[in-house]
């Protein structure tokens, strides 16, 4: 059985946290352990720290309280190229140097355990790719080189199955908590009556950025008989589905047989509970592009694009056009600064002030 090392501050207040994390790891089909299990002569020695990190198949690292020992162990794990899932109670516990790393906050998060299990499973299944998600920035900007790319550069890329081309990329769906790209939306109208299909990025090889092509581990026959999926439903229709269920209205995309239902004036900015089976955190990159980006003390600009780690499919930065049309400039904002995305307001909200940018 694969082993997942849990690194956290060695204080009694984290006992419950360790038990919760151990349960998540077990549900992911792995065995959790800590560096101090068992103790060497009653104390943890540096050689024991090294051995524990070296034998781990994946690591969960809790940066809450920014503990020096935890930071040292995280640095050693990154130096070895280990797949590490970074967590903390709040975003303020994560140093700026780690912006761009897939990060989960567990304070008051109902979805934390589910998302953590998903990321641990990804780390165990593809440790090399996951390990490359650690931050590669200098002074808050991506380093020069080919590690970070604009997601928009992959729009209209050809997708090649094992037996021929199946279509072109027309969108991506991403998780707005982990900021991982989950699906490529592929236009297949050139040979199928359907408009598009969703292909999980796990099925894709690394993209050829120069020639704008993807190799996919599927056959055209598999694509032809894949389940019908409305790629717009989890995102652009999500709020409409929530409203129809909340008020008992039939959706216009369903066979309502021309049933009439009352129109209700809704307050501006009203959020509705999402009780559908769709993932409420699955977002369309195309739909979110153009949203306003707001700091705690006012508007910054508009979202122009996404900067993605080409090896891991993690969105590390938002490309924001700040200022007015005459004095505009591009600002790269770490995705860990995002507090939430509002469908009602078409807005990305940050938990930083404008002065901190």
Q: What are 190-201's pLDDT values in tens digits?
A: 888 767 888 888
- What is the pLDDT, as a whole number, of residue 110? 63
- What is the pLDDT, as a whole number, of residue 279? 56
What is d(CA 229, CA 237) in angstroms, rounded to the nearest whole number? 13
Print burial letters for 280-316: b (CB count within 10 Å at least 16), e (below 16): bbbbbbbbbbebbbbbeeeebbbbbbbbbbbbbbbbb
Does residue 107 carry a pLDDT above 70?
no
The phi, psi pair for 260, rounded to 5°, reads -95, 145
Q: What angle (nearest 5°) sits at the alpha carbon of residue 213, between those of residues 212 and 218?
A: 160
- What is the pLDDT, as a whole number, of residue 223? 79
Percent of the chain whose predicted confidence (pLDDT) is above 90 = 25
Average pLDDT value for residue range 192-212: 80
- Computed over every residue of the chain, the mean pLDDT equals 76
Determine if residue 239 is left, alpha or beta; phi over 0 gives left, psi from -120 to 50 gives alpha, anything else beta: alpha
What is d(CA 347, CA 350) in angstroms, rounded to the nearest whole number? 10
262-300 pLDDT, tens digit per residue, is 333 333 333 333 334 455 677 889 989 999 999 988 899
Does residue 261 carry a pLDDT above 60?
no
Between residues 159 and 355, which one has the greater pLDDT?
A: 159
- What is the pLDDT, as a whole number, of residue 101? 63
Q: Under CATH, domain 286-356 is a member of which superfamily? A: PRC-barrel domain (2.30.30.240)
Between residues 252 and 20, which one has the greater pLDDT?
A: 20
Does residue 329 carry a pLDDT above 70?
yes
Between residues 253 and 3, which one has the greater pLDDT?
A: 3
- What is the pLDDT, as a whole number, of residue 182? 83
- What is the pLDDT, as a whole number, of residue 293? 94
Where in the chain is CATH 2.30.30.240?
Answer: 286-356
The phi, psi pair for 96, rounded to 5°, reads -60, -30
Please, are residues 221 and 238 in contact by the beta-carbon 8 Å criterion? no
Does residue 38 carry a pLDDT above 80?
no
Query: What is the CATH architecture assignment of 3-135?
Result: 3-Layer(aba) Sandwich (3.40)
132-142 pLDDT, tens digit per residue, is 554 433 233 34
Confidence of residue 6 (pLDDT cuts 50, 70, 90): very high
Does residue 57 carry a pLDDT above 80?
yes
Peptide bond into 104 cis (omega under 30): no
By DSSP bridging, strand 158-161 and strand 347-350 are: unpaired
Where in the chain is CATH 3.40.50.450?
Answer: 3-135
pTM: 0.52
């Amino acid at each position: 059985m694969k082993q997942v090392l849990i690194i956290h501050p060695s204080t009694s207040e984290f006992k419950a946290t360790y038990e919760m994390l151990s349960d998540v790891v077990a549900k992911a089909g792995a065995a959790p352990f800590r560096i101090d299990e068992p103790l060497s002569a009653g104390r943890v020695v540096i050689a024991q720290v090294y051995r524990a990190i070296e034998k781990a198949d994946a690591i969960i690292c809790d940066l809450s309280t920014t503990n020096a020992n935890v930071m040292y162990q995280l640095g050693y794990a990154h130096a070895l190229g280990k797949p590490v899932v970074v967590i903390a109670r709040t975003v303020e516990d994560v140093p700026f140097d780690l912006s761009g790393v897939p990060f989960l906050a567990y304070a008051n998060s109902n979805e934390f355990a589910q998302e953590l299990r998903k990321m641990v499973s990804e780390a165990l299944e593809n440790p090399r790719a996951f390990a490359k998600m650690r931050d590669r920035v200098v002074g808050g900007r991506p380093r020069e080189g080919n590690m970070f790319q604009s997601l928009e550069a992959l729009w209209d890329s050809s997708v090649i199955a094992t037996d021929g081309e199946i279509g072109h990329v027309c969108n991506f769906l991403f998780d707005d908590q982990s900021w991982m790209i989950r699906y490529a939306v592929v236009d297949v109208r050139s040979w199928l009556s359907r408009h598009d299909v969703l292909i999980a990025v796990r099925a894709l090889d690394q993209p050829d950025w120069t020639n704008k092509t993807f190799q996919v581990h599927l056959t055209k026959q598999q694509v032809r008989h894949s389940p019908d999926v409305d790629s717009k439903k989890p995102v652009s229709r999500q709020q409409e589905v929530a409203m129809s269920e909340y008020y008992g209205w039939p959706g216009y995309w369903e066979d309502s047989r021309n049933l009439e239902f009352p129109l209700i004036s809704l307050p501006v900015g009203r959020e509705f509970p999402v009780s559908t089976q769709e993932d409420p955190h699955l977002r369309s990159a195309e739909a979110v592009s153009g949203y306003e980006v707001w700091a705690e003390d006012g508007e910054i600009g508009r979202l122009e694009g996404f900067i993605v780690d080409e090896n891991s499919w993690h969105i590390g930065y938002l490309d924001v056009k700040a200022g007015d049309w005459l004095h505009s400039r591009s600002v790269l904002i770490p995705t860990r600064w995002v507090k939430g995305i509002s469908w009602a307001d078409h807005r990305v909200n940050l938990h930083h002030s404008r002065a901190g940018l």
